[in-house]
Amino acid sequence: MNLEKVVFGFFVTLAATLNFGFFIGDISDPELHNEYELFAAVVVNLVATVLKFGDRTQIGAVHLSTSLVADLQLIAATIVWAYAAHVSTEGLTAGATASIVSLSGGALLANVVSLVLLVVETGSFRRS
């Protein structure tokens, strides 16, 4: 068993599940979307991105690109949340929450693509 592959698979899967946990629920209800779960999703996605650096294969490049997309979407969601909660006079409204959750949905899609790539890559692995 390759420990590097285990750690890589762990973080890719954890990134997707944390993002899914944040995403699930009524899109406009801020009570159903925890900011700490969003923060954890951002951090784990960034760790997963760092783990994807250095792979020089074509599938490694696609892994990295999906991770960068997820990072961008989650960081944008965090910025919208911070603005709505701490800068805007209206606070965290249903519209702002919908924007945040929509951005996390885009990141979730990128994470799912990364998981599919991981499964395909694992399935195509041949033992010598």
- Distance, in Å, from the CA atom of 38 to the CA atom of 22, rounded to the nearest integer, reads 6
Judge contact between 69 and 110, C-beta under 8 A: yes
Band of pLDDT at residue 4, cut at 50, 70 and 90: confident
- Summarised one tens digit per residue, pLDDT across range 27-83 is 999 999 999 999 999 999 999 999 988 788 888 899 999 999 999 999 999 999 999
pLDDT score at 56: 82
Amino acid 55: pLDDT: 81
Q: Where are the domains of the chain?
A: 3-122
Angle at 39 (CA atoms; ends 30, 4), nearest 5 degrees: 140
The conformation of residue 38, written as its DSSP 8-state character, comes to H
pLDDT at position 38 is: 96
For residue 10, the Cα-to-chain-centroid distance in whole angstroms is 13
Q: How far is residue 95's CA from residue 106's CA, in Å, rounded to a whole number? A: 17
121 pLDDT higher than 90: no
> What is the number of other CB atoms lying within 10 angstroms of the CB of residue 81?
22
Distance, in Å, from the CA atom of 94 to the CA atom of 5, rounded to the nearest integer, reads 40
pLDDT in tens, 72-111: 999 999 999 999 999 999 999 999 999 999 999 999 999 9
Predicted model pTM: 0.91
Res 122: pLDDT: 83
How long, in residues, is the chain? 128
